[in-house]
Every structure is written in structure tokens, then in C-alpha cells.
């Protein structure tokens, strides 16, 4: 019985089809280049982690010491208690979750209107919407600041969480519209015949069917909001109100920490961890989002 089975040589397992020596060399070269690139990309992260776990005396050594000795896990609690990190974290989670909810609700409703309802002026307005995606934010920055200042919203979270409820980031309207276009219109008609209202169609049919697209939007937007820097910088002034991104800058101070780079890097890692965790579990959605719209988050 065993004789009928052909023994597979090891080199065939590594190279699934026959490779000429030149091709094999090319493959090796490709792997080497890709790995070298990957190491270069990963090195700053590794160094950040290494620095975050060092004791102060070991930060400024030559040659560079990769494995900290001793490993100072206590840098993390020290860094976090040196500043109101818990407070910043809570602020950030509040801002991120409320504004993501706002973006999902407003953009999906608007996308429904632009993709499935007929009304005069729709197509022209959609072009306008697409144009706003390309508009550099600087043009509206100053007047928007003056407007929010007039509302008395400076030093509150409102400038960060209200615009998302008005579909301020048109990109997500575009993304959801593209997805809605792939859902057959017959579903709407059938629901209409059964007496469903337009809102029913949106709420009970489209949204449940669009969970993947909504997930992409939620992930991309919440990551963007977690990292957002300029708006918090302009609107939040009391350190009580900071988001964690703004807090990092406060940590760093105007001229950088003179000696506390280990604590700085520990704080930086705390900031990065949620981004990395979400990326790890939702990679599929990141890739899809990019392939889908051709735009990186």
C-alpha cells in the first residue's frame, strides 16, 4: 500500500513547483528584501518597547541595549500615575464612542437617501459631497473654531462629537453608499408592498444587511478619532479635558522629556495598544476597506 505513494522530496515541499536555479535565487532574494524591510519597519516599535522597560540609567547606553536588564514593568504604573491618564483615557473613550455612533447613524441614513431614494438635486449634491472629501481641512479650520467659540463650546467635547452627527466626514457616506448600491432594490419594493415605511427599510433591512460595511466604517473612524490630534489641540485647553493623544504631547512638554524617555515610551505604548488590538482582530476589515474605496484610513 505504501509503495503506491510517491515520496515527496523536501525541496519540492519548499518550492511547490520546479524552480530553475535562477528562479530559486530570485525567490531567496525576494524573501531577503521583504524581511529586511519588515525588520526596518518593526525596529522602531521594538526599540520603543525596549526603552519603555528600562530603568533610567540604562536609557542612554552605548552600544544600544535591546533587552532591558532589569525589566522595569513598574514603568507603566509610574508613567500612568504621573499624569491623569485614567481621566484622559475615559475622555478619549467617551469621544470615540459617541462620535463613532454619530458617524454610523448619520452617514448610513444619508447614504441610504443618496443611493436608494429619488429626489430633485440628488445627483448634483452627491458630486458636492464627493468634492468635500478632497477639501483640505485648513480652509474651514479658523471659521469653524470661531463658530464653536461663539457657541461657547471651546474646552468642551462638543466640537469633537457634534460634527460626526452631521456626516461631517463625507468619506463614510461614500463608503456606505457604495455598499448599499450592491443590495438589490427589489428588497425595498417587496418591503414597500408589505407596507414598510422608508425608515423601516433603512432600519430593518439595509442596516442589518450592511453589518460588514458598518464594521469597516466603525473601525476606520474610531481609529482615526483615537489618533486625532489637531482638533483636540485647538479645542481642549484644560488638562482635565485632554484626550490621550493630546495628553501624550503634554507628557512630552514643549522641548521633550530630558531624561524620562522610558516613561514617555511606556505612555506611548499604552496609547498604541488599543490601535494594535483592534488592527489584529479586524485586519480583514482594514484590507477590505482599502480595497473597497482605494483610500487608506
Stretch 101-120 residues interacting with other proteins (CB under 8 A):
106-107, 109-110, 112-114, 117-120
Q: Which three cell numbers stand for residue 222?
A: 474610531
Q: Which range binds other proteins by CB under 8 A, 5-13, 37-45, 69-77, 208-216?
A: 37-45
For position 81 contacting other proteins by CB under 8 A, the verdict is no
Nearer to other proteins, 9 or 136 (CB): 136
Q: Which is nearer to other proteins, 6 or 41 (CB)?
A: 41
Q: Which is nearer to other proteins, 70 or 253 (CB)?
A: 253
CB-based burial label for 273 (10 Å; 0-12, 13-18, 19+) = exposed
Binding marks (x or -) toward other proteins, 139..168, rule CB under 8 A? xxxxxxxxx-x-------------x-xxxx
Please state the closest distance from residue 149 (CB atom) to other proteins, in A.
Answer: 7
Query: What letter does residue 7 receive in the DSSP assignment?
Result: P
Interaction of residue 181 with other proteins, rule CB under 8 A: no
Q: Which of 2, 3, 20, 62 binds other proteins (CB under 8 A)?
A: 62
**Based on C-alpha coordinates, what's the Rg of the chain?**
26
Q: What percent of the residues of the chain are helix, what percent strand, and what percent coil, each to the nearest 5?
A: 75, 0, 25
Our measurement of the distance from residue 167's CA atom to the centroid of its chain's CA atoms, rounded to an integer in Å, reads: 18
Q: Give the number of residues written for the chain.
A: 297
Residue 215 in the binding site for other proteins (CB under 8 A): no
Cell 480595497 -> residue: 291
Distance of closest approach, residue 7 Cβ to other proteins, in angstroms = 22
Question: Residue 105 CB, nearest distance to other proteins (Å)?
Answer: 8
User: In angstroms, rounded to a whole number, what is the distance separating the alpha carbons of residues 220 and 285?
Assistant: 9
Instruction: Determine the 3-state secondary structure of 180 from DSSP.
Output: helix
291 lies in the site for other proteins, by CB under 8 A: yes
Q: Contacts with other proteins: how many residues (CB under 8 A)? A: 93
The closest alpha carbon to 159, from 141, 178, 139, belongs to: 141
Amino acid at each position: 500500500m505504501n509503495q503506491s505513494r510517491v515520496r515527496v522530496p523536501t525541496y519540492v515541499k519548499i518550492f511547490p513547483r520546479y524552480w530553475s536555479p535562477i528562479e530559486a535565487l530570485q525567490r531567496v532574494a525576494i524573501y531577503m528584501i521583504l524581511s529586511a524591510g519588515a525588520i526596518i519597519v518593526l525596529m522602531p516599535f521594538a526599540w520603543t518597547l525596549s526603552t519603555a522597560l528600562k530603568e533610567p540609567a540604562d536609557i542612554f547606553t552605548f552600544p544600544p541595549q535591546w533587552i532591558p536588564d532589569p525589566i522595569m514593568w513598574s514603568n507603566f504604573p509610574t508613567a500612568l500615575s504621573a499624569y491623569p491618564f485614567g481621566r484622559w483615557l475615559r475622555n478619549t473613550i467617551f469621544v470615540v464612542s459617541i462620535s463613532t455612533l454619530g458617524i454610523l447613524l448619520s452617514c448610513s441614513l444619508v447614504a441610504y437617501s443618496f443611493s436608494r431614494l429619488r429626489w430633485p438635486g440628488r445627483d448634483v449634491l452627491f458630486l458636492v459631497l464627493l468634492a468635500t472629501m478632497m477639501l483640505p481641512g485648513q480652509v474651514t479650520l479658523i471659521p469653524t473654531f470661531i463658530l464653536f467659540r461663539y457657541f461657547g463650546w471651546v474646552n468642551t467635547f462638543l466640537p469633537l462629537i457634534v460634527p460626526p452627527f452631521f456626516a461631517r466626514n463625507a468619506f463614510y457616506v461614500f463608503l456606505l453608499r457604495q455598499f448599499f448600491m450592491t443590495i438589490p432594490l427589489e428588497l425595498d419594493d417587496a418591503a414597500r408592498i408589505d407596507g414598510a415605511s422608508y425608515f423601516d427599510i433603512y432600519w430593518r433591512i439595509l442596516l442589518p444587511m450592511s453589518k460588514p460595511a458598518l464594521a469597516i466604517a466603525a473601525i476606520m473612524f474610531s481609529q482615526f478619532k483615537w489618533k486625532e490630534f489637531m482638533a483636540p489641540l485647538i479645542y481642549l485647553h484644560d488638562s482635565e479635558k485632554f484626550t490621550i493623544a493630546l495628553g501624550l504631547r503634554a507628557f512630552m512638554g514643549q522641548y521633550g522629556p530630558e531624561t524620562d524617555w522610558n516613561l514617555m515610551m511606556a505612555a506611548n505604548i499604552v496609547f498604541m495598544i488599543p490601535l494594535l488590538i483592534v488592527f489584529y482582530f479586524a485586519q480583514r476589515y482594514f484590507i477590505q476597506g482599502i480595497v473597497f474605496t482605494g483610500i487608506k484610513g
